[in-house]
Structure 1
């Protein structure tokens, strides 16, 4: 007998017990096509069906008596899973106690045959021709040591400039973008000029558009690749295939773009890593920041964290020396005013007289931004007599009003509550307890007659506004980009934002306010209304790093994230208890107060939180993953001979952001 070629295949399956490489014999007729990285179809003997997978590697097995099933087919000759991508997916999944196939499902788009044929028939792109650029030198020169850090593949963190800049569009007309977009674009062009690829990861499509505008005309269009979940499937697959070419490129995308298998990666840049959109909601839930740290270590490329604020996660890395902080050559910041109602003013007034006067003066020359907490007209209603929250009689959801005098409706189920009565005092009258974007626009529109009013929120998306006078009422994160900047900015509902039951609410509020303040015109006032304390001081002094350090110092004695890592374990009570017992056996030094729970959930299951130091991460995640696999195998054995149905499975989530049980 002669040696036979064997394919090691990763199955595309959500089952945790299948998260390993399976050996299959390669038939002679598939030997030429069955190369590492291609999609294949293989039999799964335990289920008696064919499943898709990826051929990870080939090996030659010596003659023996081990029977092997054979590959059924090679789905495509394109090597969509390079070895470096598999190594990254494997490391990221292991860190999060998850499956590599779940990571790859987010990264590799569904196969589109026409797009694949067009890519195979196309001429391979030419390498980028570097051109000396004074613009790149000036942009990077604003941060001493940034260009050298990119060349030396270091991990860097910068507080981005908080102002707007004008860049030319395709027709030569000026388009305003954040100065941060120009900084990241310059870093990408600098990397491209060195013959290496750059990956720019941003939270949403609005940030992508700013980066594309900053790069337009400075590099050829075929070098910039957009990876966006909002793209049509053929376009997204074509963009992914372009990243496989052996030619440097610049990838602009959202959280999954951090895994893009580009040629010779030289830079990974994350903008605003505190934005929750960069946290992956799908299993295994690896944050783009953590994936970028893993990739930087594997690929030896530069890593750049940029933002107007500094998250405690990045500040912790700076504190331990893993990331280097680069201060700007010259620090500038918007003019922030802490506004409060003065003596003689109504305590219930939403806009103090100083902020009102600033808005009136600014409207003579351009737009004014008013940031509010929530969309809608009256997002919260209370009983007019006892002031208790008005709840839906059907699902107990919060009631809201679409306009003045409208019948209350439920924010959860959408049912009208025309015959509502308070269960506590029997009153049938409701009162508006908060004002959303539409009600604020209505009130300020009456206060400033004849002024154009623009509402920007989730239901009314507005990307840009011109430089004409206007009142722009926007919810946090939905602020349009103005031509030339806002002539004044008023930040309302700050106290209400800080009341949220969230460990990181201070960080989040500071990020919302700083991102809005960065849209101000030079010298324009930014009024923060009704907020005091450390968060307000951090905004007024524009010192986000100092605020992040103080937050870390406060959390350290309480062992709260990100000082420690936190894993959540959910599922049947018995399975959760078994998982915690196995973890204690694996880590005898685990302190009793590091395991919070388990507590019983409404559905009868249980949930527990486990706190652990970063040095114990590999052992903890390995133990948790083993428990997930063992629970899945027990369930499979118990289900034999029974009708399959829904089952409350054991679930593990690592690096949860807070301690919410």
Structure 2
């Protein structure tokens, strides 16, 4: 039947050829565009057609730049320092373009770059060279170092263009010289820094010094870029506030810490890499901050273990900054209330000069005393010799509370962290797992610190006595005792579970663990150091040095003219160094004793840790020039299935040891041997 004039399908035979022709034309146009795009991609850039790329692969034997061709369409965006995607080992892999070149040593055809992720040059030539130096120093790979140096990309932040601020005028040098007036040689050091020189100093301020203000003045006196690395976020906040107070509405610094969040951290990174800010302030990762025209590096409290990177290649902030200063010809300032043996070595070698306060200023800054039982106390109370709170401490706290807050440093957190038999002093152990017993709070029975099993009916396995004593008390129990001794005074605690950043200048007692001491407005009227024997009982190479550092940092929070008291044996060398505030003399004596024992910094150490078979294979492949000592292998106390070997060489052979360990890593990677962990100059053994 014929279709009527109103039938909608009446024109279908006439429409179909038109639709087919349109679809065919679209397909042809799309295919032509695809061919043109592929041809353009295959066309190599006319100028500098070779891109050298550091490919992000975890294999040590592939830790080198690889050559790729630069498509003409990507020539403008493929700038040195840009993030790129390449085809590597059959997969699309991330990488950094480090250089453009005219020719390649590779004789075959080069694979083209797959994509330029961003034309933002996030890896500067200086940081690329620093990453290579750090990787060689610590026998690691550049990929691991670059993961520390360059934060992940945040596209939204990168695309948000911020106008470049007008360059700030140079800060006058006179305020900085005045602020550093307590240090006799500071004026000459600052003047040399301002003139573009590279003075290097080891700095130990007197107690109560406002070190954030001094670091801020030094950073603003530098003519170019500055990198300042601090142990933790509390110190970063203090320096951030000090710089903000000096620069006002035209900030010159950017903060780089891990807890900023991806967007804020990348924004600070871009401010530095684009030249909008010239001073980088942050924790250990800030050592790689992309500041331009570097003129000064600063590390504060270089003995803090937070400066040691816990991930491969286990680099240390101090060593990274010193390497960077050496490569860039920049000034360096290694500071802290205490002095490390590594800083002392910088002075002995002539690489740096000493920058300390005048002795009269140190004597006037604070008075440090040692508390102990007097003859009168022993007559009145025979147990006074072992008292945690001698009468001198209570008298000091009572008198200082009239002027402001008092800081009490307690080495352990918690309530009663260990228990022992009251009669025979045998440590109290759990009957289930043999773990140590502790007292979580004053209202709960003893419980195991390992498995948590409660032991309300505990009895000593040696003598059968049921009484318990507390040889080690935590900060919560100490606060409770002080609260009973001073019932009208507010007592606050600061420890890992709740760290206070600041306290006001009202009378109060602040009980804090080492490293968690809050900063008091105007400084503390007095500082008390309890249970000093605990810090001196650590089985570690740096026990005395670490104890003195923690005590000095606490005493450093005292106000000018304040007092400090340590409950310890006055004959101990760290206690004497604290009382005299002789940080340089203590570090020199420690360095002498380590030199006699062939320990760092007189020697260079490396540890090789892994399963026994893997460690044996590593020792067979390791080729270190003589003289070299191998110590071990020994089983790890917390993991009997793994062992560790210590490799020791004289300090002059340190670079050779690092190169040999790097070669070992590459051979192991290429042969696919069992993994081992290699650490050069570990912070502790």
TM-score by length of 1: 0.89
**Bigger-Rg structure (1/2):** 2
Matches of 2:176 and 2:456, distance apart in 1: 62
SS at match of 1:40: strand
Matches of 1:363 and 1:218, distance apart in 2: 32
Matches of 1:402 and 1:59, distance apart in 2: 66
Q: Structure 1 residue 51: deviation in Å?
A: 1.4
1:103 to 139, 145, 149: 145
Could you tell me which residue of structure 2 aligns to residue 342 of structure 1? 374
Q: Structure 1 residue 384: deviation in Å?
A: 4.7
- Relative to structure 1, is the Cα distance of residues 132 and 382 closer, same or farther in structure 2, using a 3 angstrom cutoff? same
2:606 to 562, 567, 571: 567
Could you tell me which residue of structure 2 aligns to residue 27 of structure 1? 71
2:165 to 125, 133, 141: 125
Do the aligned residues in 2 keep the contact of 1:7 with 1:23 (CA within 8 Å)?
Answer: yes
Show the 5 A alignment for 1:162-561.
162-163=207-208, 178-191=209-222, 194=223, 196-219=224-247, 220-247=249-276, 249-329=278-358, 331-332=361-362, 333-343=365-375, 344=378, 345=381, 346=383, 347-384=385-422, 386-392=424-430, 397-412=435-450, 414=452, 416=454, 430-532=468-570, 533-561=572-600
Do the aligned residues in 1 keep the contact of 2:67 with 2:106 (CA within 8 Å)?
Answer: no
Could you tell me which residue of structure 2 aligns to residue 61 of structure 1? 103
Deviation string for 1:378-425 (max 9, x for gaps)?
A: 111234565333445666554322212413344455555567676667
Matches of 2:452 and 2:124, distance apart in 1: 48
Deviation string for 1:70-119 (max 9, x for gaps)?
A: 2211111101011111000100110000011111101211110110001x
Deviation string for 1:419-442 (max 9, x for gaps)?
A: 767666777765432111100011
SS at match of 1:537: helix
Do the aligned residues in 2 keep the contact of 1:140 with 1:146 (CA within 8 Å)?
Answer: no
Deviation string for 1:115-149 (max 9, x for gaps)?
A: 0001xx22222212124364222024443222134
Do the aligned residues in 2 keep the contact of 1:112 with 1:237 (CA within 8 Å)?
Answer: yes
- Relative to structure 1, is the Cα distance of residues 64 and 265 closer, same or farther in structure 2, using a 3 angstrom cutoff? closer
Do the aligned residues in 2 keep the contact of 1:41 with 1:74 (CA within 8 Å)?
Answer: yes
SS at match of 2:374: coil
Could you tell me which residue of structure 2 aligns to residue 168 of structure 1? none
Uncovered stretches (5+) of structure 1, i.e. residues with no partner: 164-177, 637-647
Matches of 1:249 and 1:262, distance apart in 2: 6
SS at match of 2:672: helix
Matches of 1:146 and 1:398, distance apart in 2: 53
Larger deviation, residues 413-422 vs 350-359: 413-422
Matches of 1:12 and 1:389, distance apart in 2: 52
- Relative to structure 1, is the Cα distance of residues 623 and 421 closer, same or farther in structure 2, using a 3 angstrom cutoff? farther
Uncovered stretches (5+) of structure 2, i.e. residues with no partner: 1-42
Deviation string for 1:139-189 (max 9, x for gaps)?
A: 2444322213424212111112321xxxxxxxxxxxxxx511111010011
Could you tell me which residue of structure 2 aligns to residue 640 of structure 1? none
Q: Structure 1 residue 322: deviation in Å?
A: 1.2
Do the aligned residues in 2 keep the contact of 1:561 with 1:657 (CA within 8 Å)?
Answer: no
Q: Structure 1 residue 13: deviation in Å?
A: 2.7
Matches of 2:539 and 2:625, distance apart in 1: 32
Larger deviation, residues 269-278 vs 411-420: 411-420
- Relative to structure 1, is the Cα distance of residues 231 and 541 closer, same or farther in structure 2, using a 3 angstrom cutoff? same
- Relative to structure 1, is the Cα distance of residues 431 and 328 closer, same or farther in structure 2, using a 3 angstrom cutoff? closer
Matches of 2:80 and 2:640, distance apart in 1: 45
- Relative to structure 1, is the Cα distance of residues 63 and 624 closer, same or farther in structure 2, using a 3 angstrom cutoff? closer
Deviation string for 1:564-613 (max 9, x for gaps)?
A: 11100012323322333443x441332xxx21111234443321001112
Larger deviation, residues 390-399 vs 622-631: 390-399
Show the 5 A alignment for 1:26-45.
26-45=70-89
Could you tell me which residue of structure 2 aligns to residue 578 of structure 1? 617
- Relative to structure 1, is the Cα distance of residues 578 and 222 closer, same or farther in structure 2, using a 3 angstrom cutoff? same
Matches of 1:654 and 1:18, distance apart in 2: 21
SS at match of 2:260: coil
Do the aligned residues in 1 keep the contact of 2:50 with 2:104 (CA within 8 Å)?
Answer: no
Deviation string for 1:3-61 (max 9, x for gaps)?
A: 8822211122333222111222222322222221111111222xx32111111112222
- Relative to structure 1, is the Cα distance of residues 586 and 478 closer, same or farther in structure 2, using a 3 angstrom cutoff? closer
- Relative to structure 1, is the Cα distance of residues 450 and 430 closer, same or farther in structure 2, using a 3 angstrom cutoff? same
2:190 paired with 1:147: yes
Matches of 2:214 and 2:369, distance apart in 1: 27
Do the aligned residues in 1 keep the contact of 2:254 with 2:277 (CA within 8 Å)?
Answer: no
